[in-house]
Amino acid sequence: MAPKRQTRSSLNGNGSAVNGSAHKISAEPEENIFLFIPNIIGYSRIVLAIASLYYMPVHPRTCSLLYSVSCILDAVDGVAARHFNQSTKFGAVLDMVTDRCTTSCLLVFLASAFPRWSLVFQGLISLDLASHYMHMYATLSMGGSSQSHKKISEDKNWILRMYYSDNRVLFALCAFNEVFFIAVYLLSFSSPLLMPSLLQEDGGASLQPGSPAAPATFWTSPYSAGAMEMARANKMDSTVPWVIAIISCVPMATKQIINVIQLMDASKWLAEGDREQRAKDRANKAR
What is the CATH number for 61?
1.20.120
Q: Which of 99, 128, 166, 265 is catalytic?
A: 99
Q: Does a structural domain hold residue 221?
A: no
Q: Is 105 exposed, middle or buried (0-12, 13-18, 19+ CB in 10 A)?
A: middle
- Would 204 be classed as within a structural domain? no
- Report which of residues 202 and 86 the model is more confident about: 86
On the question of pLDDT at 99 being above 50, the answer is yes
User: Residue 242: is its pLDDT beyond 90?
Assistant: yes
- Quick one: average pLDDT of 212-235? 55
- Domain membership of residue 53 (yes or no) is yes
Q: Which of 172-186, 213-227, 233-247 has the highest mean pLDDT?
A: 172-186
What amino acid occupies position 69? V
State yes or no: is 237 an active-site residue. Answer: no
Any domain includes 227:
no
With 80 as the cut, is the pLDDT of residue 23 above it? Answer: no
Q: Is 13 among the domain residues?
A: no
Residue 282 in domain: no
pTM of the model: 0.75
Residue 222: pLDDT band (50, 70, 90) is: low
Tally of domains within the chain: 1
Q: Which residues contact 29 (CB under 8 A, 6 or more apart)?
A: none
Label residue 215 by pLDDT band (50, 70, 90): very low
Q: Angle at which helices 89-113 and 37-55 pack, to 10 degrees?
A: 10
Which residues, 6+ apart, have CB-to-CB distance to 70 below 8 Å?
A: 45, 48, 49, 52, 102
- Please compute the mean of the pLDDT values over residues 267-274 and round it to a whole number: 91
Residue 152: inside a domain: yes
Instruction: Provide the pLDDT for residue 190.
Output: 78
pLDDT greater than 50 at residue 279? yes
Domain that holds residue 246: 34-190+236-273
168-172 contacts, C-beta under 8 A, 24 or more apart = 171/75, 172/251
Report the chain's mean pLDDT, rounded to a whole number.
80
> Residue 220 domain-assigned?
no
